[in-house]
Amino acid sequence: MLEIKNLHARIAEDGTEILRGVDLTVKPGEVHAIMGPNGSGKSTLSYILAGKEDYEVTEGDILFNGESILEMAPEERASAGVFLAFQYPIEIPGVATMTFLKSAMNAQRKARGEEELSTPEFMRRVKDKAGELQVTMDMLKRPLNVGFSGGEKKRAEILQMALLEPSLCVLDETDSGLDIDALRVVAEGVNKLRSPERSTVVITHYQRLLDHIVPDVVHVLSKGRIVKTGGKELALELEKNGYAEFVGAAA
């Protein structure tokens, strides 16, 4: 599904190197967790996967379903099935959430040569998924993310993911800002999407999310490299002992 090979990347503007040789392979159906100290490059990695222009890949490659996506525009990657739930979802003033959802779904369908969704079909799907994620009609009518609380923003991200049905889901600290109940709702939403064809990368600082979304593999990213990989028990270990041991190893 996803193969990241010796990925080096820097900030395009000032040349600061952020990723220094990331290797990561995620097979179909697997859930991988990426943990690591603040500033270690987790969000950067997710942005680079999604194709953000602020970063320059200087070495290595990213293969998605066996093919390099480095030359693909962000919207092409999206239509190919890459989804990123943002750590800080962006406000889109003036555009009702509902309108945004419909535009995004139809844009992806168009790019894949599929028919546009009819309005009733679209409504059916939205109502369905919004219900599951406890996203209210009122929220769907409001401009996307504008004035949404932290938790509402995260739920809106997962709603988009559920509707777009990507094959690679990257969740960047989706748990931050969620209260305990919302965390369960969101985690259930993510689990529902788990399937043998779909891979998930969960970036998080906390074990509590991984209690709900149980990962197959856990990685520790430090200073732009994966310094440790293990099973789900690695997260528990980190929770207890912190990163000191691994961060030291990377230096």
Tell me whether residue 139 or residue 250 sits nearer to ligand ATP (CB atom): 250
According to DSSP H, which parts of 172-217 are helical?
180-193, 207-212
Nearest distance, CB of residue 88 and ligand ATP, angstroms: 9
* Calpha distance 131→193 (Å, rounded): 15
Out of 57, 70, 96, 247, name the contact with another protein by CB under 8 A: 96
Tell me whether residue 69 or residue 220 sits nearer to ligand ATP (CB atom): 220
SS3 93: coil
Q: Could you say whether residue 21 binds another protein (CB under 8 A)?
A: no
Site residue total, another protein (CB under 8 A):
32
Residues that bind ligand ATP (CB under 6 A): 11, 18, 36, 38-44, 54, 87
Q: Could you say whether residue 160 binds another protein (CB under 8 A)?
A: yes
Q: Could you say whether residue 160 binds Mg ion (CB under 5 A)?
A: no
CB 46 within 8 A of CB 18: no
Q: 209: which residues sit within 8 A by CB, 6+ positions away?
A: 174, 175, 183, 187, 202
Q: Where in 40-59 is the site for Mg ion (CB under 5 A)? A: 42-43
Instruction: Give which of another protein, Mg ion, ligand ATP, none residue 75 binds (C-beta under 5 to 8 Å, depending on kind).
Output: another protein
β-pair partners for 147: none
CB 40 within 8 A of CB 161: no
Nearest distance, CB of residue 246 and another protein, angstroms: 30
Out of 67, 75, 114, 116, name the contact with another protein by CB under 8 A: 75
Q: At what angle do helices 97-111 and 150-164 cross, to 10 degrees?
A: 30
Instruction: Give which of ligand ATP, another protein, Mg ion, none residue 162 binds (C-beta under 5 to 8 Å, depending on kind).
Output: none
SS3 251: coil
Q: Could you say whether residue 111 binds another protein (CB under 8 A)?
A: yes
Output the CA torsion sign for 186, 191, 197, 199: positive
* Calpha distance 159→165 (Å, rounded): 10
SS3 193: helix
Tell me whether residue 39 or residue 242 sits nearer to ligand ATP (CB atom): 39
Structure tokens at 167: 């094959």
Footprint on this chain of another protein (rule: CB under 8 A): 50-54, 73-75, 78-79, 83-84, 86, 89-96, 99-100, 103-105, 107-108, 111, 143, 160, 164
